[in-house]
């Protein structure tokens, strides 16, 4: 295949066709852009994630001959807590989650760094359609594994295919780049927060549905839904999403220049210490996402085992409470922006997140666990602030490169989350089961300090919603 096969050419005929496309694709109000894309993709991801973990638990339990709490019920006694077979199931489930996540994230980092800068030239729509198709193919592989009862290692093949096409990280990068294209600096933080609220609403709905669905019908039908939703998302992007990049140009996909453009963001010297701020905000995002994803991966395993011993319906409600923080954080962000600078809003988010994780680390009963979820009501106010501040540091034609690099940062976060938290959990079971959550709370002190330090160094006399926050 020649280089020309990977080049987007804009001919006069295609330009004329493009001018007609908005009329054909205007199937939604103009105020709605990529929010449904992120909603649908997150719905599929949130439906798939806990179900995959539970399938791993059930399958590995069956292989080891462990029936545990699923058959006997969960009795609050030390024999259940110290059951070596249950601990082996927990460890295997945790480690297989690590291997499956590693398989996709490593490949996805290199794909996203190609696709993100490429979208600055050819547009956002291609890099949104491609990962949606990849995620649909991943769901198809998972279905084959379940139908044929293949070894769980075949899940790695699905993650490999998804990673090549950019995975969910590319959808995130494409959607945030799109919003940066169509919003001004004053409204960007809130527009980004709306996107993140879409993540929360979709996750909440999917979690409630998934918990009851698996109880009623098992794993197969929910995964058919994941497959269908991802395919529908690709069709929605093609027919309903208008292109946000105004000056599109021909560009080769497979070229080192895309990697170079990402590297250029963090090496070029600019006024106002842009390079230093990019590094610091990227580090803050790395740590925040690492803790968020690390804790989220462990919630299901933590809830399945002694002393909580939750079943699928309670796991669904717990995941819904976790995703509800996106929506409550959006409301709180809009309220506190009236009187506080964005950075101080983020600091309040850190306080909420840290306090909730501490309570969860000590949870031995269902009410205490939900209290921890409740304390995290404002936890997701930090990431939209960080993304918005990063976006304001670069030019319009660098948004794709920036958010692809941030997708790589998040990919690295996933690696750290799965590597650190999924290894830390089985290693600390013997002295404190909730230690990984306490560890996450301590780690969050670092990004809280970074954002507070930058804000103090740039402090201005007046704090209001009309202040220009750099």
Q: Provide the 3-class DSSP secondary structure of residue 115.
A: helix
Q: Could you read off the pLDDT tens digit of each residue along the chain, which spans 470 residues? A: 444 443 444 444 444 444 444 444 445 555 568 999 999 999 999 888 878 888 888 888 887 777 754 444 454 444 444 567 877 887 888 788 878 877 777 888 888 888 888 888 888 899 999 999 999 999 999 999 988 888 888 898 999 999 899 889 899 889 999 998 888 878 888 898 898 888 878 877 887 787 778 777 778 888 999 999 999 999 999 998 888 887 777 767 777 776 777 777 777 766 667 788 899 999 999 999 999 989 987 888 888 888 888 887 788 788 778 878 888 898 899 888 888 888 999 999 999 999 999 999 999 899 999 999 999 999 999 999 999 999 888 887 788 888 888 888 887 887 788 788 878 888 888 888 889 999 999 999 999 999 999 888 877 554 444 444 44
Structural domains for the chain: 32-69+80-245+268-456 (1.20.1250.20)
- pLDDT, residue 365, reads 92
- pLDDT, residue 93, reads 84
- pLDDT, residue 423, reads 84
- pLDDT, residue 21, reads 44
Vertex 45: Cα angle to 365 and 384 (nearest 5): 85
CA torsion through residues 233, 239, 240, 243, sign: positive
Contacts of 319 (CB under 8 A, 6+ apart): 46, 50, 203, 204, 206, 207, 208, 210, 211, 299, 300
- pLDDT, residue 68, reads 56
| CA proximity to 296, closest of 30, 4, 20, 46 | 46
Contact assessment for residue 100 and residue 425, using Cβ atoms and an 8 Å cutoff:
no
> What burial class does residue 5 get, using C-beta atoms within 10 Å of its C-beta: 0-12 exposed, 13-18 middle, 19+ buried?
exposed
Contact assessment for residue 388 and residue 468, using Cβ atoms and an 8 Å cutoff:
no
| CA proximity to 219, closest of 62, 112, 441, 395 | 62
Task: Please list, residue by residue across 393-429, b when 16 or more beta carbons sit within 10 angstroms of its beta carbon and e when fewer do.
Answer: bbeeebbbbbbbbbbbbbbbbbbbbbebbbebbbeeb
d(CA 96, CA 103) in angstroms, rounded, equals 11
- pLDDT, residue 106, reads 80
Note the pTM of the prediction, 2 decimals: 0.74
- pLDDT, residue 30, reads 52
- pLDDT, residue 32, reads 67
- pLDDT, residue 354, reads 96
Alpha helices, H only, 218-309: 220-240, 256-265, 274-304
- pLDDT, residue 76, reads 46
d(CA 307, CA 77) in angstroms, rounded, equals 8
Strand partners, 252: 7
Q: Which helix (H) or strand (E) holds 116?
A: helix 84-122
């Amino acid at each position: 295949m020649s280089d020309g096969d990977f080049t987007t050419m804009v001919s006069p005929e295609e330009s004329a066709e493009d001018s007609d496309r908005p009329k054909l694709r205007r199937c939604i109000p103009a105020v709605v852009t990529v929010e449904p894309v992120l909603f649908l993709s997150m719905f599929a991801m949130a439906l798939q994630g806990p179900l995959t973990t539970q399938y791993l638990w059930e399958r590995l339990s069956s292989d080891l001959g462990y029936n545990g709490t699923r058959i006997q019920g969960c009795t609050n006694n030390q024999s259940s807590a110290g059951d070596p077979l249950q601990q082996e199931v927990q460890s295997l489930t945790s480690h297989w989650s690590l291997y499956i996540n590693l398989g996709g994230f490593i490949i996805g980092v290199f794909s996203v760094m190609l696709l993100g800068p490429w979208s600055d030239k050819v547009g956002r729509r291609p890099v949104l359609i491609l990962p949606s198709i990849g995620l649909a193919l991943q769901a198809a592989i998972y279905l084959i594994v379940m139908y044929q009862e293949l070894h769980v290692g075949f899940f790695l093949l699905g993650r490999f295919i998804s990673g090549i096409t950019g995975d969910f990280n590319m959808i995130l990068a494409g959607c945030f780049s799109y919003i940066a294209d169509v919003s001004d600096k004053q409204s960007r933080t809130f527009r980004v927060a709306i996107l993140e609220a879409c993540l929360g609403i979709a996750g909440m709905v999917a979690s409630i549905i998934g918990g009851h669905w698996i109880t009623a019908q098992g794993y197969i039908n929910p995964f058919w839904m994941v497959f269908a939703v991802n395919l529908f998302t690709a069709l929605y992007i093609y027919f309903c999403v208008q292109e946000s990049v105004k000056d599109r140009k021909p560009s080769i996909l497979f070229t080192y220049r895309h990697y170079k453009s990402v590297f250029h963001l963090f090496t070029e010297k600019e006024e106002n210490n842009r390079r230093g701020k990019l590094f610091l905000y990227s580090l803050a995002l790395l740590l925040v996402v690492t803790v968020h994803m690390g804790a989220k991966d462990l919630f299901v395993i933590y809830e399945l085992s002694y002393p909580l011993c939750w079943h699928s319906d309670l796991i669904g409600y717990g995941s819904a409470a976790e995703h509800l923080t996106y929506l409550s954080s959006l409301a709180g962000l809009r309220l506190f922006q009236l009187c506080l600078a964005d950075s101080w809003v983020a600091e309040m988010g850190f306080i909420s997140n840290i306090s909730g994780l501490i309570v969860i680390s000590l949870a031995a009963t269902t009410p205490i666990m939900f209290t921890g979820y409740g304390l995290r009501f404002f936890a997701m106010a930090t990431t939209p602030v960080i993304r918005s501040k990063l976006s304001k540091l670069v030019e319009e034609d660098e948004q794709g490169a920036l958010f692809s690099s941030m997708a790589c940062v998040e990919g690295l976060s996933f690696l750290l989350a799965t590597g650190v938290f999924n290894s830390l959990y089985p290693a600390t079971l013997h002295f404190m089961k909730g230690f990984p959550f306490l560890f996450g709370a301590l780690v969050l002190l670092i990004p809280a300090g970074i954002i507070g330090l930058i804000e103090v160094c740039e402090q201005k006399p007046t704090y209001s919603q009309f202040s220009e926050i750099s």
